[in-house]
Structure 1
């Protein structure tokens, strides 16, 4: 059977601590602070910031495209050479160094900000798929949903902890406060550097390195193994269908993560106190959603749980688009003096609940469908699908918002989640698990 005993609690905690650590990057650099700082201050093309938004999308898309090219080959090499921890450590160091250097991104130095953003997000995104490849070794299939959900939930708590310093010490994103808020890069790097240490101390490298064939280097071997996997993906139909669905869903999520707080500043025009409250609410609801849905999916099934989160996402996107109108309708129909920014807080809770749960359920599904001997490689394909989706989503939203404006362009996300839901109907979870078990038992070959 495709199973293994549950790892010690300390090792599971060590693995989850990488989620705790790297969520500081997602929250402070991509979602909340640096994205707003880059578009409104470093580029600063007021009043609609369309050039800043486009350059932001192009930089992130470039970094994700680099991940698409590297991730599967790196995963194949990691599996063959039993070097997951070494590759994870390299991505971690790259992220820490380049994120700290974001201090030097300033008005008049847009290219510096773009270059450092590309490199830091490249390291972060590689690490995200590298650490996920350890998941199948941490427990039997029936526990992977809980373990993945625990990691994602702890990650959102980590993001909240990292944000406390920014809220209390660094202050608001504005040109007047630039000399203080520019420290967001070094602070994020320091938090990531320290909080991820338990991962490298407690998580075990369980694979066994195999000798290289005569006359073959690791790079050639990596491309060869990726070619074999692509040739056999037809035998892993459910994994292939999942990756197509992930392409659409993660394209939508990449847009939301990248533009949610930019949308709040530019469309909703919230004040600093509302932005701060959204900080907290999104982290708490995302942590709760990841943890609760992690428990639910081991009973309901990961595929059904994933589909449920997509329905929540479609609802959230429609509400995001309608937020200003909902405030107007509340006043017109019921005489309620609601501000758009306060309605946006409620919508943020719906999106937050969907956020962690959706990502966690796809990670668990890949863990269920991946033979352990090929886990890093197949999680590399998961990373490829996610980052290729990010390239597509961010380029599309960058062009759409330049043409239609950001509020209209956000509706594109609802289309992406709808397509993901439609494709996910073709996933047969029991069949995918059975095929993975047969490969692990040697009943099927690559």
Structure 2
């Protein structure tokens, strides 16, 4: 069962690395500019939107809709026990939308927006549902290792396809392809990769996200009937009860607050590193692409290394240590000399070292703080913390640059997220939080 879950991570990461991180943003922006009027605007649904803003606005729309989709789907999954069917169904839907990006050409920016919204929502829902399997994959003392291994699989799968796609794009002339066709093939390949490898969890995982040894299932571990016979209506009521019930677990909410802070800092560093590298450090496109690959590769070892450290010292201590690592990384980035690719690559390696481990251990630690039988719903809230607040870090980054005119000031301003996250996490009594939701306490925390 663990292998099927690992391969699911391997499959989904292709969409994140190839589509969202590298290829779709510049390509869709170029198509949108080709469709723009003389003033540089496009007019979706009668609205005037600058062509350069269309892609980020579309991403924002998909994130907002995915918040509602994750909450409702998580409730349906826990209520019906059809975790695998929903997880794989959304994965196949997202992969089809991604494969459809092969047909993005000319001025089809609205097609691109529609496919992006469907694919990104499907990705978010599928990943949130996959997280719900974690408590049933291993005993509490082995969960950090399993989560870290899954994260390593994700970076390995996403990185392997990205390397192949970058090779295709860089050598498109040798293959007799123009640049646009090469990008469209790269985008479609991510969808094909996602769909093919999703067949493994479809065959290897049980329908219901199970419960690990020492936990007790609720509702008998079977589908719970609704009063009116309508699962969707019943799930909406269950979702409302979950929202109210989360107030009964304030320590779980305190952990989510800590995660919200430091994860926003992590996501902003990752998303703004290329801008910092190009605008402040003078890195060319080749150096930026090399750095992206280094992050992917080093993050594999980083996730596994921090998983081993957590097994010895506990997840909370290891996460706190990784946050110190993030602070050191930002400080070194602040003083890094410009036009020195070797130093920039070293910074990329440092990011990769703490990136995978801090996220994998945050996921496994949260899995201990979920009431049994509510995994999908609570991990939907977790993913909302991951995605739904990702505007705060870029806002601080942008304001710092606007005030100072320096990207060095902008990058160092992100320290506030790691400092606040560290302080809040330090104050979370993890043992008491685990006991409060009725779960067995791991030997090391």
Same structural fold, with TM-score higher than 0.5 when normalized by the shorter chain: yes
1:230 is matched with which residue? 243
Matched, 1:291 2:281: no
Matched, 1:370 2:370: yes
* Candidates 11, 14, 20, aligned match of 1:30: 20
Alignment RMSD, CA only?
Answer: 3.1
Residues paired across the two proteins, number: 412
1:157 is matched with which residue? 156
1:305 is matched with which residue? 318
1:158 Cα shift? Answer: 0.7
**Contact kept? 1:61, 1:394, Cα under 8 Å:** no
* Candidates 175, 187, 190, aligned match of 1:188: 190
**Superposed CA offset, 1:142-165 (max 9, x none):** 111000000001111111211232
Return 400-409 or 106-115, whichever deviates more.
400-409
Deviant stretches of 4+, over 6 Å: 172-176, 398-403
* Structure 2 unpaired stretches of 5+: 37-49, 211-220
Matched, 1:352 2:342: no
Matched, 1:217 2:230: yes
Return 213-222 or 239-248, whichever deviates more.
213-222
1:146 is matched with which residue? 145
SS at match of 2:242: helix
SS at match of 1:204: coil
Return 204-213 or 82-91, whichever deviates more.
204-213
Matched, 1:242 2:244: no
1:350 Cα shift? Answer: 0.9
* Candidates 8, 13, 26, aligned match of 2:3: 13
2:294 is matched with which residue? 281
SS at match of 1:422: helix
**Contact kept? 1:171, 1:181, Cα under 8 Å:** no
Indicate the structure with greater helix content.
1
Return 398-407 or 423-432, whichever deviates more.
398-407
Higher relative contact order (CA 8 A, sep 6+): 1
The 2-side partners of 1:282 and 1:83 are apart by: 35
2:266 is matched with which residue? 253
Matched, 1:420 2:421: yes
**Contact kept? 1:303, 1:427, Cα under 8 Å:** no
SS at match of 1:298: helix
1:401 Cα shift? Answer: 6.5
**Contact kept? 1:17, 1:196, Cα under 8 Å:** yes
The 1-side partners of 2:258 and 2:238 are apart by: 24
Matched, 1:178 2:180: yes
The 1-side partners of 2:249 and 2:350 are apart by: 33
1:240 Cα shift? Answer: 0.6
Q: 1:180 to 1:309 in 2, by over 3 A?
A: same
* Structure 1 unpaired stretches of 5+: 1-10, 46-50, 328-338, 441-446
Q: 1:42 to 1:54 in 2, by over 3 A?
A: closer
The 1-side partners of 2:402 and 2:109 are apart by: 19
**Contact kept? 1:160, 1:279, Cα under 8 Å:** no
Q: 1:131 to 1:195 in 2, by over 3 A?
A: same
2:61 is matched with which residue? 62
Q: What TM-score do you get using the length of structure 2 for normalisation?
A: 0.83
The 1-side partners of 2:168 and 2:182 are apart by: 8
The 1-side partners of 2:358 and 2:29 are apart by: 28
1:345 Cα shift? Answer: 0.9
The 2-side partners of 1:70 and 1:38 are apart by: 24
The 2-side partners of 1:33 and 1:262 are apart by: 15
